Amino acid sequence: MSLTFIVPKTIIFGWDSLDGIVQELRKLNSASPLIVTSRGMVRREGFLKLTGFIEKEKFHAAVFNEVEPEPAVETAEKCLKVVKESNCDSVVGLGGGSVIDVAKKVAMDSGLPKIMIPTTAGTGSEVTHESVLKVKGKKKAFVDEKLTADVAIVDPSLMMTMSRRLIASSGIDALAHAVESYQCKRGNELTRTLAHKAYSLIKDNIRKAISYDADAISNMALASLMAGTAFGNSGTALGHALAYPLSNQGVPHGEAVAIMLPPALEFNGFEKGIISEIRGIIRDVGLPTSFKGNAREMAAVVMEDERHLSNNPREVTFEDVVRIYREVVEGTQG
């Protein structure tokens, strides 16, 4: 057996681990970082804590806070201009998966070292070597080893400000990463081991996490990290392919995954008991299970997604996808 396993050079996990950010910047010989984040994040404790550490050391930091949910490639291009205008020497991404995807792309395109700091327990983007951005309105994955963070800092304390719905949707996204990583063609013993443990942590903790149990949120952060490491090296499959057309129309990614993961697993012949368990989790955390749309139009988008479909354990046809949408998406037309 042979395999390739790509991870950040340094992964730091633990409550208040953000406190070591200055040390990590110094290791990267950085004194002028660009902090990439969202408008909402700049009012939160995590951002204030991060900038406080940096300002205390007299670093010269610039801030780009214009990352939107499901970001467009144009956002990364705009951010790249700020890097050049501000003479930044590193990129620090602070936020959810959208922020981190933009930050990684900008760092790669500018050739700068990067530190990724997630504030949600779900995407695992801090440890993957891909960036998902919208190109002409459709989600596209950029995959390159150069997108790998130099440092990933996973601090569960930063995740206590998530809304209940975000805890739920990001948690289901991590669950999907684990399950699809376990089942997909490009999986291996390392990814399946991480995926199995991540799934166990999520099913045992997500219900408590939406009630802001600190230990549960910490376990969800660890599960997201493990699932991200797994799928970052194995990829995902049909569930994510089916979810993308929903996200293209404005459904948040985690919610789109919650809608489409169970039928994708059923199509693939996954263990019925696990599928039932997943449906129960989705129901208990209050995420949607239906979506209105045009089955044939969405299926056409799915069939263009060779990256996910080629990794699926079962061959998928256009009519298969249409049938899945018609069976499980309420009010589907076409």
Its CATH architecture, for the domain 10-161, is 3-Layer(aba) Sandwich (3.40)
Query: How many residues are given for the chain?
Result: 334
Q: How far is CA 18 from CA 22, 26, 62, 276, in A?
A: 9, 14, 18, 38
Rg (CA), the chain: 19
Contacts of residue 49, Cβ cutoff 8 Å, sequence gap at least 6: 18
As a whole number of angstroms, the distance between CA 172 and CA 255 comes to 8
For the segment(s) 164-328, the CATH number from 1.20.1090.10, 3.40.50.720, 1.10.10.10, 1.25.40.10 is 1.20.1090.10
As a whole number of angstroms, the distance between CA 91 and CA 94 comes to 10
Contacts of residue 299, Cβ cutoff 8 Å, sequence gap at least 6: 318, 321, 322, 325
Tell me the backbone φ, ψ of residue 92, rounded to 5 degrees: -120, 115
Specify the residue for token string 């208990």. 284
**Three-class secondary structure of residue 53 per DSSP:** helix
Q: What is the pLDDT along the chain (334 residues), one digit of tens a residue?
A: 678 899 999 999 999 999 999 999 999 999 999 999 999 999 999 999 999 999 999 899 999 999 999 999 999 999 999 999 999 999 999 999 999 999 999 999 999 999 999 999 999 999 999 999 999 998 899 999 999 999 999 999 999 999 999 999 999 999 999 999 999 999 999 999 999 999 999 999 999 999 999 999 999 999 999 999 999 999 999 999 999 999 988 899 999 999 999 999 999 999 999 999 999 999 999 999 988 889 999 999 999 999 999 999 999 999 999 999 998 876 555 5
The pLDDT assigned to 117 comes to 98
As a whole number of angstroms, the distance between CA 212 and CA 206 comes to 10
Q: Read off the pLDDT of residues 138-174 as tens digits, 9 standing for 90 and up.
A: 889 999 999 999 999 999 999 999 999 999 999 999 9
Specify the residue for token string 């089942």. 183
Tell me the backbone φ, ψ of residue 257, rounded to 5 degrees: -65, -40
The pLDDT assigned to 295 comes to 92
The pLDDT assigned to 330 comes to 63
Query: Which two structure tokens, joined as six digits, stand for 18?
Result: 């953000």
Specify the residue for token string 């479909």. 309
The pLDDT assigned to 3 comes to 84
Query: Which two structure tokens, joined as six digits, stand for 307?
Result: 């990256």
**Three-class secondary structure of residue 26 per DSSP:** helix
Whether the Cβ atoms of residue 15 and residue 200 lie closer than 8 Å to each other: no
DSSP assignment of 162-188 = S-HHHHHHHHHHHHHHHHHHHHSTT--
Query: In DSSP terms, which residues pair with 13 in a beta bridge?
Result: 154
| Helix-strand-coil split of the chain, %, nearest 5 | 55, 10, 30
Q: Where are the domains of the chain?
A: 10-161, 164-328
As a whole number of angstroms, the distance between CA 325 and CA 334 comes to 10
Whether the Cβ atoms of residue 160 and residue 214 lie closer than 8 Å to each other: yes
The pLDDT assigned to 304 comes to 95
Query: In DSSP terms, which residues pair with 168 in a beta bridge?
Result: none
